Amino acid sequence: MAYATANGIRLHYEDHGTGRPLVFLHGWGTSGRVWDAQAADLMTDHRVLTLDWRGCGRSDRPATGYTIADVTRDVLAFIDVLALDQPVLIGSSIAGAFTIEAALAAPEKVGAIVPVDAGVHHFSQGMREQMDKLLANLRADRAGTLADFVPHWYRPGASAAMIDWTVRQLLDSTFLIDRLITDQAGYDPRGRLGQVRVPTHFLHGELDTEVPLRIPQECASLIPGARLTVVEGAGHMSQQDQAERFNRALRAALG
């Protein structure tokens, strides 16, 4: 079990293998464990680091700092603390925004980014009422709301045990992460995407109903040289939904 202190916050991470460093960032409220299938595959020829960001997994749960900008600063500080040489940042859902912001803020520290099923500007497009309703439901009945919400992250027919495991991770995280929902509702980086200067490859589940495919398509069109690969038969958690297909697509993107 490894910890790194970044910006005064103790962050838990796992570190496996040797070679080109890959930093995997989980989505809202889960943990680095959502990348287990990728770590097992890629650690054979890469250095794989799976990070629990603040408030989640086994990392610290400070009272403040739950914005996209704050978590991005933690990620960049984590890179510095471990002296990682231009790692590839791979971020699921809202962590796709962390990878983009890190590339914009410190391109010299980032080798490439892979936003996965990336939650970027879709919440800013007329969805504020839905976000407010979600937040109210979480306050009223967190367990019940998550039990209804999380299954939509997966393809039809996905393992019930995998969905239950995801719900447990969310329940184990601090409720303070809900502030990220509010922050994401106003997040729209499109006017700055043309300034991204690191290699960028979006991976996106074909069946993702949480983030429409048009979102990464638009983002990729705005980033010089960016590419997009659609993971067939996968939902919003494509790295778990179709792990083997996802791993093949990720390896191709890394190549």
What are the per-10-residue average pLDDT scores of the chain (255 residues)?
Answer: 95 98 98 98 98 98 97 98 98 97 98 94 67 93 97 96 98 97 91 97 96 94 97 97 98 96
- Whose tokens are 């109903």? That residue is 209
Give the strand order in the sheet containing 112-116: 2-6, 9-16, 46-51, 20-25, 88-92, 112-116, 201-205, 227-231
**Domains, the chain, ordered by start:** 2-254 (3.40.50.1820)
pLDDT value for 126: 59
**pLDDT for residue 195:** 98
Establish how many alpha carbons lie within 13 A of residue 23's alpha carbon, considering only the half-sphere containing its beta carbon: 31
- Beta strands 88-92 and 20-25 are parallel
Q: How far apart are CA 187 and CA 181, in angstroms?
A: 10
pLDDT of residue 125: 57
CA distance readout (Å), 145 to 134, 139, 149: 8, 9, 6
Please, are residues 5 and 11 in contact by the beta-carbon 8 Å criterion? yes
What is the C-alpha to C-alpha distance for residues 148 and 232, in angstroms, rounded to an integer? Answer: 24
β-strands 112-116, 227-231: how paired?
unpaired
With beta carbons less than 8 A apart as the criterion, state whether 242 and 209 touch: no
Report the amino acid identity of residue 97.
A
